[in-house]
Chains A and B, each alone.
Chain A
Amino acid sequence: MIALLKRDLALAVRAGGGFGLALAFFLIVVTLTPFAVGPNSATLSVIAAGILWLGALLSCLLSLDRILALDFEDGSLELLATAPIPLEGVAATKAVAHWLTTGLPLTLVAPALGVLLNLPEGGYLWLTLSLAIGTPALSVIGTFGAALTVGLKRGGLLLSLIVLPLYVPTLIFGAEVARRGAEGMSLDTPLAILAGITLATIALLPFASAAAIRINLR
Chain B
Amino acid sequence: MSERLTRPTSLWEYANPRRFMALSGFLLPWVAIGTAATLLIGLVWGFFFTPDDYRQGSTVKIIYVHVPSAMIAINCWLMMLITSLVWLIRRHHVSALAAKAAAPIGATMTVIALLTGAIWGQPMWGTWWAWDPRLTSFLILFLFYLGYMALWAAVENPDTAAELTSVLCIVGSVFAVLSRYALVFWNQGLHQGASLSLDKEENVSDVFYWPLLLCIAGFVGFFILLILIRTRTEVRARRLQALIARERMA
Please give the residue numbers on chain A whose beta carbons come within 8 Å of chain B beta carbons, in ascending order.
144, 148-149, 151-152, 155, 158, 161-162, 164-166, 168-169, 172-173, 176, 180, 189-190, 193, 197, 205, 208, 211-212, 215-216, 218
Which residues in B have their C-beta under 8 angstroms from that of A176?
185-186, 189
A165 touches B185 (CB 8 A): no
Which 4 A-B pairs rank lowest in CB-CB distance, beginning with the nearest? A169-B182, A162-B147, A165-B143, A172-B182
Give the distance to chain A from B93, nearest Cβ to Cβ, in Å: 16
Task: Tally inter-chain residue pairs, CB-CB below 8 A.
Answer: 75
B167 touches A161 (CB 8 A): no
A216 touches B160 (CB 8 A): yes
Which residues in B have their C-beta under 8 angstroms from that of A172?
179, 182-183, 185-186
Q: List 11 A-B contacts (CB under 8 A).
A: A148-B164, A149-B154, A161-B147, A162-B150, A164-B143, A165-B143, A172-B179, A172-B183, A189-B185, A211-B167, A218-B160
Complex: A135 Cα to B166 Cα, angstroms:
26
A158 with B140: in contact, given A208-B167, A211-B167 (CB under 8 Å)? Answer: no
A151 with B160: in contact, given A165-B175, A169-B178, A176-B189 (CB under 8 Å)? Answer: yes
Please give the residue numbers on chain B whose beta carbons come within 8 Å of chain A beta carbons, in ascending order.
140, 143-144, 146-147, 150-151, 154-155, 160, 163-164, 167-168, 170-172, 175-176, 178-179, 182-183, 185-186, 189
A169 with B175: in contact, given A155-B154, A211-B167, A215-B164 (CB under 8 Å)? Answer: yes
Give the distance to chain B from A134, nearest Cβ to Cβ, in Å: 13
Give the distance to chain A from B158, nearest Cβ to Cβ, in Å: 13
A165 touches B144 (CB 8 A): yes
Which residues in B have their C-beta under 8 angstroms from that of A161?
143, 146-147, 150
Q: Name A163's closest neighbour in chain B (CB-CB).
A: B147
Q: Name B162's closest neighbour in chain A (CB-CB).
A: A215
Q: Name B177's closest neighbour in chain A (CB-CB).
A: A169
Which residues in A have their C-beta under 8 angstroms from that of B140?
165, 168
Task: Kindly list 17 other residue pairs between chains A and B, CB separation below 8 angstroms, not including A151-B160, A169-B182.
Answer: A149-B154, A152-B155, A158-B147, A158-B150, A158-B151, A165-B176, A165-B179, A166-B172, A166-B175, A168-B179, A172-B182, A173-B185, A176-B185, A189-B185, A193-B185, A208-B170, A216-B160
B175 touches A168 (CB 8 A): yes
Q: Which of B154, B164, B178 contacts A212 (CB 8 A)?
A: B164
A173 with B182: in contact, given A165-B144, A168-B175, A208-B171 (CB under 8 Å)? Answer: yes
Complex: A14 Cα to B44 Cα, angstroms:
69
Complex: A216 Cα to B159 Cα, angstroms:
11
Q: Name B153's closest neighbour in chain A (CB-CB).
A: A158
Which residues in A have their C-beta under 8 angstroms from that of B147?
158, 161-162, 165
